[in-house]
Structure 1
Amino acid sequence: MPSFDIVSEVDKHQLTNAVDQVNRTVGNRFDFKGVEAEVEMNEFTLLIRAEAEIQLTQMVDMLRGALIKCDIDPKAMEIGEMEQSGKVVKQTVTMKNGLDKELAKKITKLIKDEKMKVQASIQGDQVRVTGKKRDDLQQVIALLREKDLGQPLQFNNFRD
């Protein structure tokens, strides 16, 4: 029986490349000369530090552009609040990795409400969709691509 998995994953290697790219850009830009500004990465949590709020927002925009270049959807970013501590402004950016329970339930409900001839089941941080026909599965993929669920989705392990 044909099946596929719906996941939301961020490639850690590409994320590291994007962070390195932002740090290099900050080091080379004229408006950041002599300024203490950097992006630190810890697993899927990024800490952006700069001396002024305007520089912080510029760095977030640089990060967004670097993510796009590295084939990571910027919807995966969850941007925290700006925090002032001394002369440094900090902001935490968390990369959404994996489907949380609410989103997985929402996806299965969406598929069931369309009354397609497929079964969707939650398996950890992914949703497995099985059906008798390949065309039904492709309709599910098309349905989910047109919906904005606030998180990028990938479709893996398509099996006939």
Structure 2
Amino acid sequence: MFDVREAERSEDTRDYQAVIKLLLNHGANPNNATTSSPSWISPLMLATRCGNLETTKILLEHGASPSLHYAAYTNGYGSALDEWQSSLKMACYFESPERESMIDLPLQYGAEVNLENAMSETLLFAFIDGKFDDSIDLIRELRKRGAVVNYLNINYNTPLHLCQ
């Protein structure tokens, strides 16, 4: 049985690449996700979260959608937004010298650097608060790839408004 905890260790994910190719070549849907769960994750999100560039590439080559995303709400849809994720956002969390490659790969397959969550906030909003030691570098990387700095959220704020 496939164990996510085992797969998240980089030395173990290499063993799964041949299996991933075999399953995809036999019709496995790379966009399958458990939608009944409030926090489902697609195979592509898992690969980018783990920082596995080769698995990410295999999934994208076999039709995985870099546009799939989910949002989790406090009390159901329309209430306070707790979290939202996409493969591109998960690539941004990856702390490694290869982060640039992990960001570029989904973008090459159509991921949107200015994808909005339910609050009309983009990745710049998500990383502007400085929760990461390298938030400034990450913001530079996103800006270099087309992130809009004057994007308005539903409260008519831009990322600059969050810098208080």
Name the TM-score, length of structure 2 as normaliser. Answer: 0.22
Q: Higher relative CO (CA 8 A, sep ≥ 6), structure 1 or 2?
A: 1
- Kindly indicate which of the two structures has a greater share of residues assigned to strand: 1
Structure with higher Rg: it is 1
Name the TM-score, length of structure 1 as normaliser. Answer: 0.22
